Every structure is written in structure tokens, then in C-alpha cells.
Amino acid sequence: MSSFEDADTEETVTCLHITVYHPGQLQSGIFQSIRFFNREKLPSSEVVKFGRNSNICHYTFQDKQVSRVQFSLHLFKDFNSSVLSFEIKNMSKKTSLIVDNKELGYLNKMNLPYKCMVRFGDYQFLMEKEDGESLECFETHFVLSPRSLSQESIWGTRSPIPENGNYSSCFSNSTSPTEMDENES
């Protein structure tokens, strides 16, 4: 038998891809402590904190507008499931966290969808989970976006164009908007 046949099977690792954007990211160095484009492996038992306090947070933002601990991510496995999931929790007393369109107040938490937009203040995070098999660890992978993710996500929420060629936006309703002069009532 060769050593190749005796080697342990390599497990895939769950990865959370995080694309970040802030309008002042280039001038102020807000994200200078984040290593972009590198996968970072973390133990599955670790609660990953985001904020401005480098003694507590794994990922820090150089911005006084950010709470010492803004939010946290915790890996878990649902009962009778082999898939790892993330839970996101707002740790800021002053700022709500918006996950897609759900507002999380202080200490509110929820399961992170496979793909979602997380926002607070001017910060935008597009989070996308890639499933893996390992229960021992997970990875994070950060990308810096040159433009607002909110604007890009509007284009991503449109309905597909059906074969008949008629397009209906998810924002459309039965009546079309009409312009009105300020003096009209």
C-alpha cells in the first residue's frame, strides 16, 4: 500500500466570503487591519467579533463611529444536520444591525442566510457561505469592493425576464407612479 492510500481524506472547509464596502475606505484606512484576498482558518468553537477594539475583536475597523464590539458571528450545527451555519448577533447598544431587511437591536441574533447583505451606518458587507464538511474549523475570505454593494444588490434582486419578453420588477405594483406638482393635492 502506498502512503497516498493510507493518507487521511481531506475535508472541505466551510468558508464565509465577505465583500466589504465603506464610502471612506480609501482615504481613512478603515479596513487596514483586515487581510484581503487571503483565506483565514479559524477554529469552529471561536466566536468571531467585529468592531474597533483590537483586544477583543478578531476583525477591527479603524473608525470611532464603530462600537468597541459591533457584531459577532458564531458557527453552529442544527440538530440532525451535517451542515454548519452561522449566527449573527448585534453587540452594539447604539447602532442597529440590518441583515437583508431585518433590523437587529442590541443582543438580537439570527441565523445568517447563505447569501445576505449586512449593514450598519455606512458599512456594507455582502456575506456568502460556501459549505464544507469539516467540523473542526472554518475559513473567512475578505474582498474589498470599489463601489457600494447596496446599489449592486438592487440589480441582483430583479426577476428573470420570461420567455414572452415582458419584464416585471419585484418593485412594481399594479399602479405605475405618476409625477405630481407640489401644489397639486
The 3-state secondary structure of the chain reads CCHHHHCCCCCCCEEEEEEEECCCHHHHCCCCCCCECCEEEEECCCEEEEECCCCCCCEECCCCCCCCCCEEEEEEECCCCCCEEEEEEECCCCCCEEECCEEECCCCEEECCCEEEEEECCEEEEEEEECCCCCCEEEEEEEECCCCHHHHHHHHCCCCCCCCCCCCCCCCCCCCCCCCCCCCC
pLDDT tens digits, 137-150: 999 999 999 999 97
Q: For residue 48, tell me if it sits in a domain.
A: yes
Structural domain contains residue 80: yes
| pLDDT-based confidence at residue 173 (cuts at 50, 70, 90) | very low
CATH number, domain with residue 109 = 2.60.200.20
pLDDT score recorded for residue 26: 84
Q: Please compute the mean of the pLDDT values over residues 54-76 and round it to a whole number.
A: 96
Residue 176 lies in a domain: no
- Asked whether residue 180 is assigned to any structural domain, the reply reads no
Mean pLDDT over 30-58 rounds to: 95
Which residues on adjacent β-strands are paired with residue 102?
A: 99
Please check the confidence at residue 7 and state whether its pLDDT lies above 70.
no
Whether residue 178 lies inside any domain: the answer is no
Whether 175 and 82 have beta carbons less than 8 Å apart is answered as: no
Residue 40 lies in a domain: yes
pLDDT interval class at 8 (50, 70, 90): low
Domain count, the chain: 1
pLDDT of residue 79: 87
Does residue 140 lie in a domain region? Answer: yes
pLDDT of residue 172: 37
55-61: long-range contacts at Cβ-Cβ below 8 A with a sequence spacing of 24 or more?
59/33, 59/34, 59/140, 60/33, 60/34, 61/30, 61/31, 61/33, 61/123
pLDDT tens for residues 113-140?
Answer: 999 999 999 999 999 999 998 999 999 9
Unique residue bearing C-alpha cell 474589498: 144
pLDDT reported for residue 41: 96
pLDDT for position 35: 93
pLDDT band at 159 (very low <50, low <70, confident <90, very high): very low
pLDDT at 176 over 70: no
Residue 78: domain span? 19-156
Name the least confident of 1-5, 48-52, 119-123. Answer: 1-5
The answer to whether 69 touches 90, Cβ cutoff 8 Å, is: no
Distance, in Å, from the CA atom of 99 to the CA atom of 171, rounded to the nearest integer, reads 19
pLDDT grade for 1, boundaries at 50, 70 and 90: low
Q: Looking at the domain assignment, is residue 91 inside a domain? A: yes
Grid coordinates belonging to 148: 457600494
- Whole-structure pTM value: 0.76
